[in-house]
Structure 1
Amino acid sequence: MGNKLQAILENYVPDGVQETSDLAYMKVLAKDDVHLTRASLTHFTASAFVLNEMHDKVLGIFHKIYNSWGFMGGHCDGESDLLFVAHKEAREESGLSALTALQECPISLEIGAVAPHTHRTRGYVSCHLHLNLTFLFEANEADALMINTDETRGVAWIPMDEFVEKSTEPEMRIIYEKIISRIKQRSFK
């Protein structure tokens, strides 16, 4: 069996011990489509890190579940094209219709634990793991934004140098620092 996720993972070049370890585990789980769904407590997700055209601001949302500012993203729900999932989630969570992927490969990948919580429609959600791939996008800062009131309490362009401190989740700050460092090291224009 082959899917787009397996191709992405095969071509991904890990940076550091964390990504090398996480990538090896993700490659094993990507062979079984059950991990593209929430039927497994270990499942793939895709996130969008959206920059403005000057690449000095990040589009953030205020997550209701985590009570924190962060990037956009969501579950694959059976879809193996995680770039597509990240693009779809960014549109749904921000209201933006025009988003440009700055590269087709992820800028980051990591495995993260999600604490048990109550979801507005699904009720109790057990502790589980997100096998997350983050993709980098660009959008026009002047385009109208929309708050997705089902999932968020806000959406805003945040100066890149302030984005990490807006997050109240220590485990996410590490990820945001990693992504921002990579953006600053590379040229995407």
Structure 2
Amino acid sequence: MSLYDDAVLVLKGYGDQEELRQTYLDHLATHPDGMYKPCTAGHLTASALVVDPTRGKVLLTLHKKLNMWLQMGGHCEPGDPTVEAAALREGAEESGIEGLTLLPGGPVRLDRHPIPAPCNWHLDVQYAALTPAGAAERISDESLDLRWFDYDEVADVADTSVAELLTATLRRL
């Protein structure tokens, strides 16, 4: 099964955000290249909100290009077998934490946001990743900083989409 086919199955199985979910499916139906960055009409991305439920904390990255506190995430790559694998890879790469596991149940949320030209949109498939015991983060080249925030601090430092992702994650925990 291709990454494209996996994304279609994941989206068809996602039970929330019906209108946005259909936007993603319509995009993929119209753009067979819609999984990857070269698709200038927009492309799917995969992200993972790294949480440590035992401490009630979320790890956010200060994004180098955007200078915003965000969840870990980025572009799907040809070697990613599934959207979940892409989210997990991005989570590990950007947090430096090995052994992350995704919260069961598939994506936590979808978020479509505009990006600068030449592309138009990121259609982000958002997961939550749980840290293993004793996990230590390590800053990546894509980040200015990494920082753990208490759940109740996230809305004050991050944009609405990150706060909504946390809210959706906490409903699943």
Common fold: TM-score over 0.5: yes
Runs (4+) of structure 1 exceeding 4 A deviation are none
Structure 2 counterparts to residues 36-47 of structure 1, below 5 A: 36-41=35-40, 42-47=42-47
Residue segments in structure 1 that go unaligned for 5+ positions in a row:
117-125, 168-172
Equivalent position of 2:66 in the other structure = 66
How many percent identity over aligned positions? 25
Q: CA deviation at 1:174?
A: 2.1
Matched, 1:97 2:95: no
SS where residue 97 of structure 1 aligns?
coil
For residues 125 and 81 of structure 2, what CA distance do their matches in structure 1 show? Answer: 12
State the shift of 1:55 in Å: 6.0
- The 2-side partners of 1:77 and 1:33 are apart by 15
Contact 1:59/1:71, CA 8 A, preserved across alignment: yes
Q: Which residue identity lines up with residue 75 of structure 1 in the other structure?
A: H
Q: Are positions 1:20 and 2:40 aligned together?
A: no
Unaligned runs of 5+ in 2: none
State the Cα distance separating 1:142 from its structure 2 match: 3.1
The number of aligned residues is 168
Q: TM-score, normalised by structure 2?
A: 0.87
Aligned-pair Cα RMSD in Å = 2.0
Determine the C-alpha separation between the residues in 1 that align with 2:142 and 2:133.
Answer: 22
Q: Residue type matched to 1:86 in 2? A: A
Question: 1:174 aligns to what?
Answer: 160
Rounded Cα–Cα distance in structure 2 between residues aligned with 1:185 and 1:23: 19
Query: Aligned with 2:33: secondary structure?
Result: helix
In 1, Cα distance between the equivalents of 2:75 and 2:166?
Answer: 23
Q: Specify whether residues 138 and 11 from structure 1 end up closer, same or farther in structure 2 by C-alpha distance, changes over 3 A only.
A: same
Shift of 1:103: 1.4
Cα distance in 2 between the residues matched to 1:161 and 1:155: 17
Residues 1:112 and 2:113 are matched in the alignment = yes
Instruction: Label 1:4 to 1:127 Cα distance change in 2 as closer, same or farther (>3 A).
Output: closer
User: Matched residue of 2:87: which SS?
Assistant: helix
Check the 8 A contact 1:114/1:130 in 2, yes or no.
Answer: yes
Aligned position for 1:145:
137
Superimposed CA distance per residue, residues 56-95 of structure 1 (whole angstroms, 9 cap, x where no aligned partner):
1111111011111110001013446111001001111111
